[in-house]
């Protein structure tokens, strides 16, 4: 029998309790929650399949969308299978190194996704404000380099978080309040000064998420300034090319910023709100992004309709 409150100088495992206070009901609550995972994987795999196979979609905006879909799959896959094991099989124990790996994956992939969203905003800015330069500024080699830069930046920025956690001693409770390992949650269990973790965590949020969201806002202010000088018909067409990306930005940043803020207020410490928001942050954006782009992007919608039409047609006797 594992003692959840074992007093050790260094933790060898943590316990993920899923939904605190709802342990008896979480088996059934897990069905609607975890059903979002296959929907997210299927939707994003569809995007990843369609963009490379459709020549008309070989543009920077859709290549960045492919990157976004890949990151969405990786983020949800890094956490949801373990969540399913907790809810359905009571597999609550996670080894210390596995917890660090999960924490690193979630945070680094989130940083990469933020960078990709910024790149998509830059693409819209150049396409609308400097259309004659778009083909030269965002050529395929440049898009590839931006994707690689997002990976390097996200990895380099988040790696120290795992190192700082690795150095901390854990001699109190090893019970985590979430369904997966988050830096904010793990560091609170340490029995040492965590000022470095707190300060670096703030630096990460400001330099990555904060800076990216600021630059995205600036790009759309410049886009808005340009669009206001166009005719009403051109305005509607131009805004239509930005709607999907704006929705993706809100879908990603609102839960992320909300979760970060909730973790910094003690009055929510014993509440289910942070846990619910954490699950929403990992599951809802990967589900909604393909839906938004399918509904709002005519080229993707038409390609999906043709794909299913061909499948249906070939299956007929």
CA-to-CA distance for 24 and 267, rounded, in angstroms? 25
CA-to-CA distance for 111 and 207, rounded, in angstroms? 10
The answer on pLDDT for 264 being more than 90 is no
pLDDT in tens, 100-140: 999 999 999 999 999 999 999 999 999 998 988 888 888 88
In sequence order, what are the beta bridge partners of 95? 13
The answer on pLDDT for 281 being more than 60 is yes
Q: Where would I find the beta strands (DSSP E) of 53-174?
A: 93-95
Sign of the dihedral defined by the CA atoms of residues 140, 218, 214, 293, in that order: negative
User: What pLDDT sits at residue 108?
Assistant: 92
**240-256 average pLDDT score:** 86
CA-to-CA distance for 22 and 42, rounded, in angstroms? 29
User: What pLDDT sits at residue 309?
Assistant: 66
In sequence order, what are the beta bridge partners of 16? 176
Question: In the chain, where are the structural domains located?
Answer: 13-299
Please state the φ and ψ torsions of residue 130, each to the nearest 5 degrees: -135, 65
Cβ-defined contacts of 187-194 (< 8 Å, 24+):
189/11, 189/14, 190/165, 192/168, 194/168
Is-contact 285 36, C-beta < 8 A? no
Contact partners, residue 164, CB within 8 Å, separation at least 6: 187, 196, 197, 200
Give the helix, strand, coil percentages of the chain, each rounded to 5: 75, 5, 20
Residue whose pair of structure tokens reads 């990895």 in the numeric block: 155
Nearest to 279 by CA among 75, 88, 74: 75
The larger pLDDT score, comparing residue 132 to residue 265, is at 132
Question: Whole-model pTM?
Answer: 0.87
User: What pLDDT sits at residue 120?
Assistant: 94
Q: What class is the 13-299 domain?
A: mainly alpha
Burial (CB count <10 Å: 0-12, 13-18, 19+), residue 257: middle
**Distances from the Cα of 289 to the Cα of 9, 170, 280, 293, angstroms:** 43, 38, 13, 6
Nearest to 4 by CA among 180, 181, 176, 191: 176
pLDDT band at 312 (very low <50, low <70, confident <90, very high): very low
pLDDT in tens, 47-88: 999 888 888 888 899 999 999 999 999 999 998 888 888 888
CA-to-CA distance for 194 and 135, rounded, in angstroms? 48
């Amino acid at each position: 029998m594992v003692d959840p409150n074992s007093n050790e100088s260094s933790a060898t495992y943590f316990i993920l309790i899923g939904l605190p206070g709802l342990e008896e009901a979480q088996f059934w609550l897990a069905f609607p929650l975890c059903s979002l995972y296959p929907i997210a994987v299927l939707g994003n795999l569809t995007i990843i399949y369609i963009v490379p196979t459709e020549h008309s979609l070989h543009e920077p905006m859709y290549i960045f969308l492919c990157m976004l879909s890949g990151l969405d799959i990786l983020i949800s896959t890094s956490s949801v299978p373990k969540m399913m094991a907790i809810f359905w099989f009571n597999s609550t124990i996670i080894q210390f190194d596995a917890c660090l790996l999960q924490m690193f994956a979630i945070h680094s992939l989130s940083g990469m996704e933020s960078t990709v969203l910024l790149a998509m905003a830059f693409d819209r800015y150049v396409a609308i404000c400097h259309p004659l330069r778009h083909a030269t500024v965002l050529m395929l080699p440049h898009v590839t380099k931006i994707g690689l830069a997002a990976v390097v930046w996200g990895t380099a920025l988040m790696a120290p978080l795992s190192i700082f956690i690795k150095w901390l001693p854990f001699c109190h409770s090893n019970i985590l309040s979430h369904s997966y390992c988050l830096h904010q949650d793990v560091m609170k269990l340490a029995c040492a000064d965590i000022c470095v973790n707190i300060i670096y965590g703030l630096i990460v949020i400001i330099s990555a998420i904060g800076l990216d969201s600021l630059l995205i806002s600036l790009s759309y202010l410049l886009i808005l300034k340009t669009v206001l000088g166009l005719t009403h018909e051109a305005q509607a067409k131009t805004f239509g090319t930005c709607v999907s990306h704006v929705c993706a930005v809100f879908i990603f940043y609102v839960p992320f910023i909300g979760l970060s803020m909730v973790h910094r207020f003690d009055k929510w410490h014993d509440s289910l709100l942070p846990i619910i928001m954490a699950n929403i942050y990992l599951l809802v954006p990967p589900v909604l992004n393909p839906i938004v782009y399918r509904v709002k992007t005519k080229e993707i919608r038409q390609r999906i309709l043709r794909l299913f039409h061909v499948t249906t047609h070939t299956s007929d006797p």
